[in-house]
Structure 1
Amino acid sequence: MTLMNLRQKTGAISEIEARASHEEPCPSCGIEHRQKWGKTRTGIQRYRCRGCGKTYSGRTGSVVGRIHRPDLFMVVLRDMLGTSAPQSVRKLAGQLGLNKYTVWRWRMLVFSIIDRGEDTAFSGIIEADETHQRESRKGSREWVRHFADRQNVPQPPRPRWEDFTTQGLKMMRGLSKWQLPILTVADRSGARLFQRLPDRQSATLERALKPLLPQDAVLCSDGASGYATVAANGGIEHFLVGSKPGTRVTAGCYHIQKALLQNSDCRGFTL
């Protein structure tokens, strides 16, 4: 283990230990009496409740409780919230020796934590766009149950993602029901938002975007009908931009480059 890796690991463990430094109630039964009970695989102090006998640590019950590399998660967190611009998912994954999908899931986890604590306030020129990501199959047991009992469990209606590589299956062109829409919104002050939409209907897009647009905002978007409708209903100035050269910028300053940059950073990742 290099000196840098050791510092990352000990720093992450110290921050987690600080959360449990004061005797807190057992997350299972609420009793405050505990005893030290060895350490976890990642070196974090484990405790055993004297009441129910269950073990826990400083991460138990938190949204990051099941992350196996807290040291690397802290690096990803600092990269996102630092003073400089975050690195791309692929570049950061290469530096940390992680799979790019792991880094992306960790970033989405951080976004979910931030969204719980504060409302994103947009103002001025607001850019909006949507992208589509393939549905996550992580943890799904549908194919496992089918292979274990072919007679009673029918074949799932969708192939496994790995079959497209191992069996040479071809992806359907265009969008399908297995690709989930994500709304990305950004303004010129740096505020931004990723929000997964349940479907691709215009009404769904309108409901998600309407609370984000103040009355005096200027909306920049592509030609999706939902944007034009929400702008017209709210009396908001709307600039339509295209994807072809010569149409990507309107009136010299209205574009969706910030929203497109967010989209490019999440293309090809699993949700």
Structure 2
Amino acid sequence: MKAPGFQKWFAKLTLLNQPQRLRVLAALRPAAGLAEVVGLLTVIRAADRRCPRCASPSWHRHGHANDLQRYRCRECGRTYNDLSGTPLARLRLRGKWLDYLQALLASRPVRAAAGEVGVHRNTAFRWRHRFLDRVKHDRPARLSGIVEADEMFLLESQKGARKLGRPARKRGGAARRRGISRELDCILVARDRGGQTIDAVTGRGALSARQLTRHLLPKLDPKALLVTDSNAAYRAFSRQHGIAHEAVNLRAGVRVRAGASGAIHVQNVNAYHHRFRDWLARFHGVASRYLPNYLGWRWALDGGRINTVEQLLRIAIGVINTER
């Protein structure tokens, strides 16, 4: 629209009644959201924009496509934009991303988020796991000091699968065997007294020392004191790697006891388990294959670590993948 025509149109906005103004705002919201998303992407990438093929920081502008600035690498000639190589590449309806990120911050279920943002429920589900793909890797590098570790179990779920590897269960159902069995997903959570937390889906059934070596050892400070319950896997793991270890016998009713380095208990990590279960209940069951995404989502929200859409978007696009 040319400037004179725009001025005439703009001057008539004051003549609109309330319903008409709301319609105009609703129509302009996606465009405003798109401009804000593009601006945020430019700011986030400006400091370390690199070619997704060769990781070269040398580039020049190369036109626009789909509302995004494109760049050409001076080294290999590859063209790309600020979403290339990220989980958000080729996702459409960018003008609604910020509204959807706000729904993620509010932990809205799929259908509720889809209704609020104005997209199909399948789109809302796909966006959820695209946005959370990098969030699940946003973890502290080390746990230090007194580190509490404990596992929790959730019934294995194939929700959404077209073909089941077992007989179907009605409304979630229950495990056929009592106690810890291969029908349960094991989730390891380790948390130090500073609130730093790591977690991992270790597999099905009881926790083993081998799984602890794989998931816990790389994140554990060698000088840390590991505090757990009386599970034999933790004792074997600690002896194998020379890690200081204290155990509390919960079955005997001992929940807290004094130690040389401080109170010996696993109440912090058990409280985290409780918060995670309560939060997960709103989704009425989640598929086992998506559990890492939900663990990352909960960790992002726990304690108000992530509380703005800009922070969540910054983590969601992460660092551009490079082909080495």
Q: Which category of TM-score, normalised to the shorter sequence, fits these structures? A: 0.5 to 0.7
Counterpart of 1:236?
Answer: 245
Distance 2:82 2:44 in 1: 6
Counterpart of 1:36?
Answer: 63
- Tell me the TM-score normalised to structure 2 length: 0.50
Counting only pairs closer than 5 Å after superposition, residues 114-153 of structure 1 correspond to structure 2 as 114-115=138-139, 119-132=141-154, 134=156
Q: CA deviation at 1:61?
A: 0.8
Distance 1:248 1:4 in 2: 57
Identity fraction in percent: 14
Distance 1:204 1:186 in 2: 19
Counterpart of 1:269?
Answer: 286
Distance 2:232 2:126 in 1: 32
Counting only pairs closer than 5 Å after superposition, residues 73-222 of structure 1 correspond to structure 2 as 74-75=101-102, 79=105, 89-90=107-108, 94=112, 97=116, 103=128, 106-107=131-132, 109-112=134-137, 114-115=138-139, 119-132=141-154, 134=156, 158=165, 172-173=175-176, 180-200=185-205, 201-207=207-213, 208-211=215-218, 212=220, 214-221=222-229
Offset from partner CA, 1:66-90 (integer Å, 9 cap, x none): 555542465478x4xxxxxxx6x35
RMSD: 4.9
Q: CA deviation at 1:91?
A: 7.3
Q: Are the aligned partners of 2:60 and 2:73 in contact in 1 as well (CA < 8 Å)? A: yes
Q: CA deviation at 1:59?
A: 0.5
> What 5-or-longer segments of structure 1 have no aligned partner?
80-86, 144-155
> What 5-or-longer segments of structure 2 have no aligned partner?
1-25, 291-324
Point out which structure has higher relative CO (alpha carbons under 8 A, 6+ apart): 2
Distance 1:5 1:248 in 2: 57
Taking a change above 3 Å as real, the CA distance of residues 49 and 104 of structure 1, as seen in their structure-2 partners, is closer
Give the letter for the 2:65 counterpart.
G
- Tell me the TM-score normalised to structure 1 length: 0.58
Q: CA deviation at 1:260?
A: 1.4
Larger radius of gyration between Structure 1 and Structure 2: 2
Distance 1:93 1:192 in 2: 30
Distance 1:241 1:20 in 2: 49
Taking a change above 3 Å as real, the CA distance of residues 67 and 186 of structure 1, as seen in their structure-2 partners, is farther
What count of residue pairs does the alignment treat as equivalent?
232
Give the structure with the higher percent helix.
2
